[in-house]
Copies of this chain bind each other. A is one copy, B any other.
Amino acid sequence: MKKKMLMLVTALMALAFLSAKADVEQWGRFEVALSGPTNGNPFTDVQFSAKFFQGDDEVQAAGFYDGKGVYRVRCMPDKTGTWHYVTQSSSPSLDGRTGSFEVTPARGSNHGPVRVANVYHFAYADGTPYEELGTTCYAWIHQGEKLQETTLRTLAGSPFNKVRMCVFPKRYAWNTNEPELYPYEGIPPQTWDFTRFNPLFFRHLEQRIQDLQNLNIQADVILFHPYDGGHWGFDRMPAVSDDLYVRYLVARLASYRNVWWSLANEWDFMKFKKESDFVRFGEIISQNDPFHHLLSIHNGSLIFNDTLPWITHASIQNGMAVESPASAELYRDVYRKPVVYDEVKYEGDIPLRWGNLSPQELVFRFWNGVVAGTYVGHGETYLSPDDVLWWSKGGVLKGQSPARLAFLKKVLDSAPATGIDPMERWQNPDIGGKAGQYYLIYFGKSTPTTWKFSLPRSPALSENARFKAEVLDTWKMTITPVPEDFIVHKVTSYSFEDQEGRSISLPGRPYMAIRITAL
Stretch binding the partner chain, chosen from A55-63, A108-116, A168-176, A321-329: A321-329
CA distance A271 to B334 in the complex (A): 21
Q: A278 in the interface, Cβ–Cβ < 8 Å? A: no
Contact with B along A278-310 (1 / 0, CB 8 A): 000000000000000000000001110111000
Closest B residue by C-beta to A314: B334
Dominant SS among interface residues on chain A: loop
A425 partner residues in chain B, CB cutoff 8 A:
301, 320
Question: Cβ of A427 and Cβ of B334 under 8 Å apart?
Answer: no
User: Could you tell me which residues of chain A, from 332 to 348, have a CB within 8 Å of some CB in chain B?
Assistant: 333-334
CA distance A330 to B318 in the complex (A): 10
**Chain A interface residue count: which class?**
20 to 34
Question: Cβ of B326 and Cβ of A324 under 8 Å apart?
Answer: yes
Closest B residue by C-beta to A306: B334
User: Could you tell me which residues of chain A, from 385 to 443, have a CB within 8 Å of some CB in chain B?
Assistant: 425-427, 429
Copies of this chain in the oligomer = 2
CA distance A439 to B501 in the complex (A): 47
Q: A179 in the interface, Cβ–Cβ < 8 Å? A: no
Of all A-B residue pairs in the complex, the 6 with the closest CB atoms, nearest first, are: A320-B426, A327-B327, A303-B333, A307-B307, A330-B330, A334-B334
A residues with CB within 8 A of B? 301-303, 305-307, 318-321, 323-324, 326-327, 330-331, 333-334, 353, 425-427, 429, 494
Q: A321-B426, A330-B331 known; 20 other A-B pairs, CB under 8 Å?
A: A301-B425, A301-B426, A305-B307, A306-B334, A307-B307, A318-B333, A319-B426, A320-B425, A320-B427, A320-B429, A321-B326, A321-B330, A324-B326, A324-B327, A326-B327, A327-B327, A330-B330, A331-B334, A334-B334, A353-B494
Can you show 20 pairs from A to B with CB atoms below 8 A apart?
A: A302-B333, A303-B333, A303-B334, A305-B307, A307-B307, A318-B330, A318-B333, A320-B326, A320-B425, A320-B427, A321-B326, A321-B426, A323-B326, A324-B324, A326-B327, A327-B330, A330-B330, A331-B334, A334-B334, A353-B427
